[in-house]
Homo-oligomer: A and B are copies of this chain.
Amino acid sequence: MNTLHPSMRFFIDLARIQAVLNRRFDSGLGGLGLSEFIILFHLDEAGKEGMRRVDLAEKIGLTASGVTRLLLPMEKIGLVKREANRDDARSSLVMIAPGGKRKLEEGTERAELLAEELVPAARKGEMKYIASLLTDIGKGIR
């Protein structure tokens, strides 16, 4: 009866890793959650043009309202800033602020350390492969 479909294992392991990751990342870094780090990462990539909230939501896989809620305190403490979108008055653009840049660097360090710690040495070589696999899966879903 228990064939244990590999996709089941995939879901379950994914969830576990994510939960632990979330917790581990948060603590240690002064109040920077994993989600916030990821947001900063994408905003940094977007450059000074910034990006629309909708696009950010799509990138991180959350809903638009989740993004609104996350950005609010980040704006308050100067990690990101907002600017009107001259082409479309409905949306405003978000971009990374100097404070965010600094936090992003801290976070990057932490992420690398964490990855070092989490990924078993024997599997380290496969990291690149697995990352590409996940990227591929991620692309197809919404």
**Contact (Cβ within 8 A) B16 A17:** no
Query: Are A15 and B41 touching (Cβ within 8 A)?
Result: no
On whether the beta carbons of B20 and A18 are closer than 8 Å, the reply is no
Q: How far is the CA of A119 from the CA of B134 in the complex (A)?
A: 10
The count of identical subunits is 2
From B5, B17, B59, give the contact of A137 (CB < 8 A): B17
A side interface size, CB within 8 A: 58
CB-CB under 8 A from A15, the residues of chain B are 18, 21, 34-35, 38, 60-61
A13 CB–B CB distance under 8 Å: yes
A11 to B131, CA, bound (A): 9
Partner of A120 from B38, B126, B140 at Cβ < 8 Å: B140
List 5 interface pairs A-B (beta carbons < 8 Å), by A numbering. Answer: A7-B131, A12-B41, A13-B137, A19-B62, A123-B136
